[in-house]
Amino acid sequence: MKYQKAKYDYIESIKVWYVEPFGLIDQPAAFVYYPGENCGVQVMIGDSLESFCDILREAAAELGCELKETWGVKGIASTDPYWDGKPTFRCGRCSIEHDVHENVAQVLYQRLGGSR
């Protein structure tokens, strides 16, 4: 279980996306977004989505902050500072339109240690 408590004295809210395996995501994953100065996304993998829920709700309660939960990838592109706000983008490789949220989730999963 990859989960480290954020090093904050105070945060208002944490966002999380609970994602079932699809595409390049081969295990249940929780994408946890910490806002603020050291903002960033952390990926939890390898267990059930329900177990991520328990851990994160407990952590949020301990931190005294709100946990904003989303089931599925919708909205996850908002964690990308370079996102242009469009729901799809034209892929450079296969030149068809892809869902931007699905793409961001898969990229984060691969980049942040989700792959085997």
Binding site for Zn ion (CB under 5 A): 91, 93-94
Tell me the C-alpha distance between 8 and 22, whole Å. Answer: 32
Q: What's the angle, vertex CA 64, arms to CA 71 and CA 33, rounded to 5? A: 40
Q: In terms of Cα–Cα distance, which of 27, 25, 34, 24 is closest to 3?
A: 34
Closest contact distance (angstroms) between CB of 96 and Zn ion is 6
Give the number of other CB atoms < 10 A from CB of residue 102: 20
| Beta strands 66-71 and 13-19, pairing class | parallel
Name the residue number minimizing CB distance to Zn ion.
Answer: 91
Closest contact distance (angstroms) between CB of 98 and Zn ion is 5
Nearer to Zn ion by Cβ, of 61 and 91: the residue is 91
Closest contact distance (angstroms) between CB of 83 and Zn ion is 17
Nearer to Zn ion by Cβ, of 1 and 94: the residue is 94
Nearer to Zn ion by Cβ, of 23 and 40: the residue is 23
